[in-house]
Structures are given as structure tokens and as C-alpha cells.
Amino acid sequence: MKANAPVLTLACLLLAGGIAEAADSNPALDLVRRECSTCHGAQGISTSPTFPNLAAQTPQYLEAQLKAFRDRSRADPHAQAFMWGMAAQLNDAAIKTIAEYFSKQPPAQGESADPAEVAAGRKIFEEGIEKQDVPACLSCHGDKAQGNEVFPRLASQRRGYLERQLEAFAANLRENEIMHQNSRHLTALQISQLAAFLSSQ
């Protein structure tokens, strides 16, 4: 798959007529329309809690994950089931185009959650849990969970997705040494509280 349209042309097409018109002259955006939108929504708002929201995600993180899916270095069960085959056809230019497209979409609305859960999750996110050797999440993910380059946006992410990813990091099903160390001491309740807070933002 080739994605040769320059960034300026891509931006003009998106402004002029949205993804449908842009896809006519850009194979990567045609893939977004035909394939990615099935699970992640045309503007990156997922259609199921199984799949993450991609809207407003950092482009650096999206690029890194698509490349990891493509070379199969991200090997958690959902990556294998859903993304290995999809990413195999992407070259670097297509990955960059897709990442930039989703990063520029308006973020999802936060999901409602129990205020007590949200407050408990906020405390973990902002302060960590010293006695469990869990650092504050904001040090990498930003004070509003907005993400920071290769550290992903977590705000308004799907709650179920967040819970599954933290569990996968803790169990080393999704390999990332930093996240393994940061999540392995969290209890199931604390994971749920943290996910409740982040998904509500």
C-alpha cells in the first residue's frame, strides 16, 4: 500500500470534504474508511469497548503501535487477533497518514461513572500509591491524561479497554517493562477505579 499525498494536500482534502473525499485520492485514508472504521469508528470513536478510541491520540504513539503490530513485536492476544493482519499491509507512509488523521479528530466524550470510583482513580493517577510502589500516572501521560508523544492519551479512553490493558501489562501478556512494573502491584479494584477516572475525562 502506498500513501504518496503530501501532508498539505491531505489537510486540504480533509478540510474540503472530509474522509470520504480524501480517501478517493489517498489509499491510507481509504483503508481508514473501509477497515479501521469498522472497529474504531470513522473518526476514531470506537464502536465497542473491546476496541480503543483513537481520536485525539498522540500521533507518535499511534505510529509506534502500528509498527509494532506490523512487525509483531506487540503480541498481546487482541493484537494478534485483530491487528497483525491489518497492519501487515501498511508501509511507513501509510502508518504516518493514518496516525495523523486520527490524532486530529475531536476526542471522545468522557463516560459517566460512580463519583467515588472516579475520585479514587484520580488519586491513583495524580499521586500513585507509594506503599505499593505505584508511581503517579501523570508523570508520563500528562496532568490531564492527554498523552505525551509516545506515552498515550488515556483521557476518555474506553473503560473496559483500559482495564484489559492494565491487566495485560501486569501479567506481561503485553510486554512493556515500565508498564509491567507500574501495574503489577495494582489490585483489581484499583485498576477498575483508575479506568473509571480516565474514561470519565
Architecture per CATH, 115-200: Orthogonal Bundle (1.10)
Is 90 exceeded by the pLDDT of residue 47? no
- Which CATH number, 1.25.40.10, 3.40.50.720, 3.20.20.140, 1.10.760.10, labels domain 7-103? 1.10.760.10
| Cβ count near 148 (within 10 Å) | 17
The model's confidence at residue 23, banded by pLDDT at 50, 70 and 90, is: low
pTM given for the model: 0.86
Enter the DSSP assignment of 153: P
Is 50 exceeded by the pLDDT of residue 16? no
Could you give the CA distance from residue 68 to residue 150 in angstroms, rounded to a whole number? 13
